Amino acid sequence: MKKIKTTPLAPQEFEVEQISENEANIVAYPFETGYAISLAHPLRRFLLSSSVGYAPIAIKIEGAKHEFDSVRGMLEDISDFILNLKEIRFKLLGGATEAEINYNFAGPCTIKGGDLTNNEVEIVTPNAHLATLNEDSTLNFSMRIAQGIGYVASENTYNELEEGYIALDAYFTPVRSATYKIENVLVEDNPNFERVVLNIKTDGQISPLDAFRNSLEVMYAQLAVFNSEISVKAPATIERSDENPDLKKLSAHIDSLGLSARSFNCLDRSSIKLIGEIALMSTNDLKNVKNLGKKSYDEIVEKLQEFGYEVGGDLSDEVVSALKKKIEAL
């Protein structure tokens, strides 16, 4: 008879393949069929839409009244200057979320992104071209840089601007690309499990791994709404919401521990199905499980501790009684 699962296998392997400073592969496996894409796709969406970055939101240039104006002695007109400015990626220092920074340049010179670095802001694209000044020309401007997510049109970056400022479209997202691929991986002679490889490239404002962590935080925060208490009476076939939380956790299948194949098979062949059965055992009972070696014993003890329990731990009489009834019913 084929083994029938009651709980999907939980992936245990996680790897970070650092390709360059601003590119990495996030790898996780093994997933049940269809689970990998179910997680990879929303993570990609969160990476592209919710990663926090910095961008100029307004600029005031001495001698220029609007974005179609020009500055004497500067090769680029204001519209080209603004386009070049948007290619420069900023990072505010000291935990600041917004800053106004003033710059003064005198020609002849070529201004690069790195020339904008000071004690308030770091430039992560130092070689990006900004402007070219002729001899005897000057360029004086003030710029407001802010922290944000996604794309914000210029009409929404500020409610009111001081006279002389030009509002800018702001592209905050520091993630340049996020792609994923799903590969098959072998688990216990079954080739139908999946491995997800998520490739992340950033502009340098944030590392790929930090961007991934941020996307997870956003994803968890969005899902947290479902943890709220729901005052609707559950159908009889659904577990009661007032069930003892220990009993609920200990009634889970041993699949939930994420054990290695060797440890899982030893327990499974001994007809140990629930996590609570392990918690009810003494250390000697567990050690005497047929074909269970020391390495497997140590792994089971460690996984059970990660789950919040000890082998032969102190459980309430209520939980012990209820667990024994569930075990007898198997």
Q: What DSSP string describes 277-288? A: HHHHS-HHHHHT
Residue 258 CA to residue 30 CA, distance in Å, equals 11
What's the confidence (pLDDT) of residue 313?
A: 76
Of the candidate CATH numbers 2.40.37.10, 1.10.540.10, 2.170.120.12, 2.40.50.100, the domain formed by 52-171 belongs to 2.170.120.12
What's the confidence (pLDDT) of residue 229?
A: 52
What three-state secondary structure class fits 156? helix
What's the confidence (pLDDT) of residue 293?
A: 84
Residue 151: count of CB within 10 angstroms of its CB: 13
13-51+175-223 and 52-171: same fold? Answer: no
Into which CATH architecture does domain 245-329 fall?
Orthogonal Bundle (1.10)
Q: Where are the beta strands (DSSP E) in 119-257?
A: 121-123, 129-133, 138-149, 151-152, 166-167, 170-171, 175-187, 190-202
Into which CATH architecture does domain 13-51+175-223 fall?
2-Layer Sandwich (3.30)
For residues 97, 102, 106, 108, the Cα torsion angle rounded to the nearest 10 degrees is 20
Which pairing describes strands 121-123 and 90-92: parallel, antiparallel, or unpaired?
antiparallel
What's the confidence (pLDDT) of residue 284?
A: 86
Domain residue ranges in the chain: 13-51+175-223, 52-171, 245-329
Task: Kindly give the confidence (pLDDT) of every residue in the chain, 330 residues in length, as a single tens digit, with 9 standing for 90 and above.
Answer: 466 778 888 888 889 999 999 999 999 999 988 889 999 999 999 999 889 999 999 999 998 888 888 889 999 999 999 999 999 999 999 888 899 999 999 989 999 999 999 999 999 999 999 999 998 899 999 999 999 998 888 888 776 777 889 999 999 999 999 999 999 988 877 888 899 999 999 999 999 999 999 998 888 888 877 765 544 444 433 344 346 777 778 888 887 787 787 787 788 888 888 888 888 888 888 888 888 888 888 888 888 888 888 887 778 878 788 878 777 766
